[in-house]
Structure 1
């Protein structure tokens, strides 16, 4: 018989911080909290989410949550930084993985489709957040977009006579096409197989950009 309190070593016990008995290393706890926060932000939106919601979803007390993140915005920015770094990395890898420009366009297009496909609804944190007007959020999104454009623009400049300003405009058009079409594909419920969707959009993009000559073809 007990007096109803949890005893050490028994299931359901909690420590003095209100946290589950299993103490995770700080990095693992942080990753767990980020996953929990992403789920809530995606389902409820930034403004309708509270730190209580996130703590409950993570299965920790609010003090434990505040040990890792001092505010809801800090949590959101950490998530955004992670997702943005993933997309920039995928675009750069796509462009550096081949010297065939037609294939580069195809792989850059696929990078966006793979990103929104893998993220599920979480891609909205990057492209469609209800927090986009916040200066810190906007700054990060613009930085992400600029890094993707810069990677594409460098590739365009390397293979054509186009100057930096024109290369950046062309890159913006190509990557904007990739983003919008990938988001449309997700919104349609993946009505077209991803490989076919990528091929359709990369063919459209290539028929435009391929008219700009390589240095050795000018």
Structure 2
């Protein structure tokens, strides 16, 4: 974890906000939303509470900002995996890898997205739901289109791939990474691709996607 600057150090507004979010990430990941206090976050960041409140009017607003930051990071990782190649097998591997990289990220940020004790709060739940749907939409559009499936079937397959990636990545991390990271990604990507590859490239054959 990056050390907080000494109390009183002058930073730009953007740099100070980033510093406060980093401190908040560590405190929320360690303690959960309900147990964490703004005092704890200010102390971790090396600032006074008034400085913290200048940027975030309350704990809930700070948590939402943090949740949005890391939800967007996950979406960006999946987007990069999908867009860096036109080969669907590579895309599947990249999407699975994106989830493993996210859960292995510094500070346990993934717990804020996947395991938050504030998921019942509507605005927090909406942030997570929106990020999940964006990932599903990207996978559905990029990976399953070649199968010639209608939107509902393509999306269901995408939900399966995203769910497989998320659950497997969390299990891998919680099991103390008994399987090397690259091996784990290759294993899960192979499982996912064997299923997706079973669908013919019907759009190239001029066939009509199934509708019933």
TM-score, structure 1 as length reference: 0.88
Instruction: Determine helix, strand or coil for the equivalent of 2:60.
Output: helix
Instruction: Determine helix, strand or coil for the equivalent of 1:48.
Output: coil
Counterpart residue number, 1:29: 16
Instruction: Determine helix, strand or coil for the equivalent of 1:149.
Output: helix
Question: Which one of 108, 116, 139 corresponds to residue 95 of structure 2?
Answer: 108
Indicate yes or no: 2:166 matched with 1:179: yes
Task: Please tell me whether the aligned partners of residues 157 and 164 of structure 1 are also in contact (alpha carbons under 8 angstroms).
Answer: no
Per the alignment, do residues 213 and 94 of structure 1 end up closer, same or farther by CA in structure 2, a change over 3 Å counting?
same
Shift of 1:32: 0.8
How many residue pairs align between the two structures? Answer: 200
Indicate yes or no: 2:132 matched with 1:154: no
Cα distance in 2, alignment partners of residues 20 and 170 from structure 1? 50
Output aligned runs, 1:101-140, within 5 Å.
Answer: 101-140=88-127
Cα distance in 2, alignment partners of residues 102 and 156 from structure 1? 8
Counterpart residue number, 2:210: none
Which runs of 5 or more structure 2 residues have no equivalent in the other structure? Answer: 1-5, 208-212
Larger Rg: 1
Shift of 1:166: 1.0
Which runs of structure 1 show a deviation greater than 3 angstroms over 4 or more consecutive aligned residues? none
The superposition leaves residues 150-186 of structure 1 with CA deviations (integer Å, 9 ceiling, x where unpaired) of 0011114531210111111110001100000000000
Give the CA RMSD over aligned residues: 1.4
Output aligned runs, 1:38-187, within 5 Å.
Answer: 38-187=25-174
TM-score, structure 2 as length reference: 0.90
Counterpart residue number, 1:6: none
Cα distance in 2, alignment partners of residues 72 and 163 from structure 1? 43
Counterpart residue number, 2:3: none
Task: Please tell me whether the aligned partners of residues 8 and 47 of structure 2 are also in contact (alpha carbons under 8 angstroms).
Answer: no
Indicate yes or no: 2:183 matched with 1:216: no
Cα distance in 2, alignment partners of residues 120 and 33 from structure 1? 14
Task: Please tell me whether the aligned partners of residues 88 and 143 of structure 2 are also in contact (alpha carbons under 8 angstroms).
Answer: no
Per the alignment, do residues 128 and 109 of structure 1 end up closer, same or farther by CA in structure 2, a change over 3 Å counting?
same
Instruction: Determine helix, strand or coil for the equivalent of 1:46.
Output: coil
Which runs of 5 or more structure 1 residues have no equivalent in the other structure? Answer: 1-18
Instruction: Determine helix, strand or coil for the equivalent of 1:20.
Output: coil
Cα distance in 2, alignment partners of residues 27 and 173 from structure 1? 38
